[in-house]
Amino acid sequence: MKTPVKIIGINGSPKGEKSQTRRLVLAVLEGARAAGADVMFVDICALKIRYCTACATCYAKGECVHDDDMPALYEKLLDADGIVLGSPVYINSVTAQLKTMLDRMADSVHCLHFTGKYGCAVSTAGGAMADETADYMNSAMRMLGATTVGTVGVNFMGNPDLIVPAGKKAKDLGRKLAEAIRTEWKDPAQQAYYADRKARMKQLVLANKDVWTHEFDHWKAMGWI
């Protein structure tokens, strides 16, 4: 029997159960579950995640100086096959809570820890920039090595009923995410991006191999250098 696809959804809204973004993340997970995936939902605003201080300890040792909820969340992300990121638009971008999580993953950017994983993103806005914010979240996942399969963004503009068609699109996106994982879908444009990014990360790690020892050891263990 094949191991079920594992998908984790991260909600970056601080509004709890009142969050429209939460509804979209859950809709993606519902669609993925209907396609046979095992799903997990995380409200990141309920976690304690401290700011990155750019100390570079993770580059050298593969661990962070902070004692908080990020390591446990990160293990869940690494265990997942697919990742759904969701955030409302706060001044043309993601919430501080979600951005803090992303900033704590600098080591993973260098190590491309999400290689082989898949992702998608959803965003809501009272006015504008929902699509752009969802695109930003997908770009962050591609920096980590993941292949992204799409977005759903909704700008309400005073019309809360728009969550209904957006929810349907989110469910479809969840099914698409699960299928992409199952079939190991490849996108030629993203594959070219990854090849270029991997080459640049390799040069960066090699240039700093004497101080970024953890990352250099990771690249050797992966057979990339």
Tens digit of each residue's pLDDT (9 = 90 or more) over 59-97: 999 999 999 999 999 999 999 999 999 999 999 999 999
Residue 199 forms part of a structural domain: no
What's the total number of domains in the chain? 1
Tokens representing residue 74 in the block: 């990160």
Residue 2 has pLDDT above 70, yes or no: no
Residue 208 forms part of a structural domain: no
114/148 Cα distance (integer angstroms): 11
Element (H or E) spanning 225, and its range? none
Of the pLDDT bands very low, low, confident and very high (cuts 50, 70, 90), residue 1 is very low
CATH number at residue 61: 3.40.50.360
* Average pLDDT estimate for 117-132: 97
DSSP 120-188: EEEEEESSS-HHHHHHHHHHHHHHTTPEEEEEEEEE-TT-GGGHHHHHHHHHHHHHHHHHHHHHT---H
> Torsion over CA of 207, 136, 173 and 142, rounded to 10 degrees?
-10
Residue 211 forms part of a structural domain: no
Tokens representing residue 152 in the block: 């759903």
CA angle 162, 86, 100 (to 5 degrees): 145
| pTM above threshold 0.75 | yes
For residue range 147-170, list pLDDT tens digits in order: 999 999 999 999 999 999 999 999
3-state secondary structure of 10: strand
* pLDDT over 90 percentage in the chain: 98
- Domain range for 111 is 6-186
Average pLDDT in the chain = 96
For residue range 190-209, list pLDDT tens digits in order: 999 999 999 999 999 999 99
